[in-house]
């Protein structure tokens, strides 16, 4: 706080008159103190409430226009009230102010025209192929959309003592103990609720991999949160301790033991506040306010993301449009791409690899005119959320983009009026596959749809992840395509064996039968809705099953005889 007071007092001097006649004339001199106080209040406001970083570029950008306006106003007023003030001197003062404003405006308008190469360079971008995209196991693919997670979290907030005091914070997907969850902190609902509350009551987790899993309300004391005020506001708490850093993003994360933390990504601007880069993170304990700073290379392993999504968004755009400089961007347009507009809140979506490390995904289509539309992608990118590495998968060119996958999913369930959530792209059964959640108008998850990116006629869906994957496997098995190798993942395997154990899960509208079979170290599952006789299977029965051997621990049965 002391540093903010000192710098505010110092920069308030720039609000004092630069025209010497102000200091000589009693009529004007009586306003000098008021101008200084106004300057102090302005400076304190932008640094304390506005959280402006106290860097040289921030000070120049904020105060240079003020100096220009003051020169114009001071010289004009002195010339108007003091008859002996020479016109030439007034013109010099006004002209100096106008030159500052004009120069600053021209610089601010035209500087971006010379940053194409710098933006493309910082975006990076390495072209890779499908061999560099690791397949992920079925159980770790997130199928629960953010909107459904927030719906379930909102319902769970009713368990709080004073639920009207609070709102849901930002919902983010993250890895906790080997499983993906949507995690939502509970925030204050306005100033008076903060004033009357002792602390924010905790956070809510929703399993992102299993829609049937129950959400969890974790109640814990959190004093320093983004929705708090004055000294308890999280960003202000960080700004007072780190006045010079550029705060880029704040996200809520939970470590492997369930302890809550806020992660503040910080960095700096290059190209005079036009291009932001990430330097590291500041981890804040919301209960005590204790902070620890890490460079990005040394961030703890449990931290899921260091690079925020808006950095990934702008770097994807720069990578697509500045490949061959500014002139080609507007005239040649050779080889240029742009991220696909999915028509949702997410321009990029978080996906995971085999080790559950998070990346920001978006697909690219060719750069279009204003009236053009495109249904296919020319590639897609993975932006590593911890390292900032951008990988471009060019071999997906010509496949359907995420927007088309969403349209296909909505058309399939047109009668139900379901709405497609943000799609994600994975390597499933050695195929680029869009995973599209479908919700009703109340944001309740109803269906999960898997769409083959190479062919819109190859898709599968189900109300559960297992049903969706089984349906997709069958669709792949009937596909005739050179890219699908018979016997690799799509041929049905026939097995006749004895049942060792049986487990029957009776749900509201269906019975799922799970079997252990002699000679196979895996679980076979079948739905009674597809095979009604399955409910009569007992241990010791000899059965004949057909399935696609994908090597997964839980294997869906496609055909059953006993």
Cα separation, 164 vs 158, in Å, equals 9
pLDDT mean across residues, the chain = 87
Which of 514, 495, 107, 124 has the alpha carbon at shortest distance from 320?
124
Query: Residue 185's beta-bridge partner residues?
Result: 203
pLDDT in tens, 395-405: 888 888 888 89
How does 545-560 read in b/e, with b if 16+ C-beta sit within 10 Å? bebbbbeeeebbbbeb
pLDDT value, residue 492: 73
Cβ(203)–Cβ(252) below 8 Å: yes
List domains and CATH numbers for the chain.
2-114 (no CATH), 145-298 (no CATH), 309-396 (no CATH), 402-477 (no CATH), 492-561 (2.40.50.1010)
Q: Are strands 419-420 and 337-339 parallel, antiparallel or unpaired?
A: unpaired
**79 pLDDT exceeds 80?**
no
pLDDT in tens, 125-161: 888 887 777 777 777 889 998 889 999 999 998 888 8
pLDDT in tens, 110-119: 998 889 889 9
pLDDT in tens, 35-74: 999 999 999 999 999 999 999 999 999 999 999 999 998 8
| Residue 544 binned pLDDT confidence (cut-offs 50, 70, 90) | very high
pLDDT in tens, 500-526: 999 887 754 567 788 999 988 888 888
**Arithmetic mean of pLDDT, 467-474:** 82
Identify which has the larger pLDDT, 466 or 405.
405
Q: Residue 106, Cβ neighbours under 10 Å: how many?
A: 10
Cα separation, 189 vs 327, in Å, equals 49
Pick the range with the lowest mean pLDDT from 117-121, 135-139, 246-250, 497-501: 135-139
């Amino acid at each position: 706080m002391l540093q903010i007071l000192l710098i505010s007092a110092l920069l308030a001097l720039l609000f004092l008159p630069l025209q010497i006649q102000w200091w000589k004339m009693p009529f004007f001199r009586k306003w000098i103190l008021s101008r200084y106080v106004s300057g102090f209040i302005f400076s304190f406001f932008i640094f304390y409430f506005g959280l402006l970083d106290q860097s040289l570029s921030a000070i120049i950008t904020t105060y240079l226009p003020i100096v220009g306006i003051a020169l114009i106003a001071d010289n004009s007023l002195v010339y108007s009230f003091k008859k002996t003030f020479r016109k030439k001197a007034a013109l010099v003062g006004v002209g100096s102010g106008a030159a500052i404003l004009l120069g600053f405006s021209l610089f601010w308008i035209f500087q971006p025209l010379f940053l194409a190469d710098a933006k493309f360079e910082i975006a990076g971008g390495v072209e890779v192929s499908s061999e560099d995209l690791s397949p992920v196991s079925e159980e770790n693919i997130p199928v629960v959309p953010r909107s459904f997670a927030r719906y379930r979290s909102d319902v769970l907030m009713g368990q709080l003592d004073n639920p009207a005091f609070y709102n849901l914070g930002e919902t983010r997907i993250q890895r906790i103990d080997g499983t993906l969850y949507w995690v939502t902190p509970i925030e204050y609902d306005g100033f008076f609720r903060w004033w009357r509350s002792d602390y924010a009551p905790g956070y809510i987790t929703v399993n992102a991999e299993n829609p049937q899993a129950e959400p969890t309300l974790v109640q814990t004391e959190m004093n320093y949160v983004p929705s708090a005020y004055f000294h308890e506001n999280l960003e202000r708490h960080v700004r007072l301790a780190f006045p010079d850093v550029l705060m880029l993003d704040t996200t809520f994360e939970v470590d492997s033991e369930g302890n809550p933390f806020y992660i503040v990504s910080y960095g700096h601007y290059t190209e005079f506040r036009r291009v932001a880069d990430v330097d590291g993170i500041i981890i804040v304990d919301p209960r005590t306010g204790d902070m620890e700073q890490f460079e990005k290379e040394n961030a703890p392993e449990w931290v899921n993301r260091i690079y925020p999504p808006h950095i990934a968004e702008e770097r994807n755009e720069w990578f697509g449009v500045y490949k061959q400089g500014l002139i080609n961007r507007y005239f040649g347009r050779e080889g240029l791409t742009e991220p696909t507009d999915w028509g949702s809140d997410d321009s990029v979506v978080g996906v995971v690899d085999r080790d559950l490390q998070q990346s920001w995904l978006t697909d690219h289509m060719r750069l279009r005119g204003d009236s053009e539309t495109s249904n296919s992608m020319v590639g897609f990118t993975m932006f590593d959320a911890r390292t900032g590495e951008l990988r471009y998968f060019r071999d997906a060119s010509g496949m359907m983009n995420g927007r088309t996958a969403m349209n296909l999913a909505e058309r399939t369930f047109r009668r139900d009026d379901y709405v497609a959530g943000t799609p994600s792209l994975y390597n499933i059964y050695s195929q680029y596959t869009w995973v599209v959640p479908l919700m009703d108008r109340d944001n309740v998850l109803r269906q999960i749809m898997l769409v083959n990116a190479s062919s819109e006629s190859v898709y599968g869906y189900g109300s559960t992840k297992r049903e969706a994957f089984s349906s997709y496997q069958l669709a792949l098995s009937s596909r005739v395509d050179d890219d699908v190798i018979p016997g690799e993942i799509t041929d049905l395997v026939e097995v006749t064996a004895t049942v060792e154990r049986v487990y029957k899960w009776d749900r509201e509208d269906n019975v799922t039968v799970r079997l252990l079979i002699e000679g196979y170290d895996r679980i076979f599952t079948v739905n009674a809705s597809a095979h009604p006789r399955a409910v009569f299977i007992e241990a010791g029965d000899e059965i004949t099953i057909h399935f696609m051997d994908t090597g997964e621990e839980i294997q869906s049965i496609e055909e059953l005889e006993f």
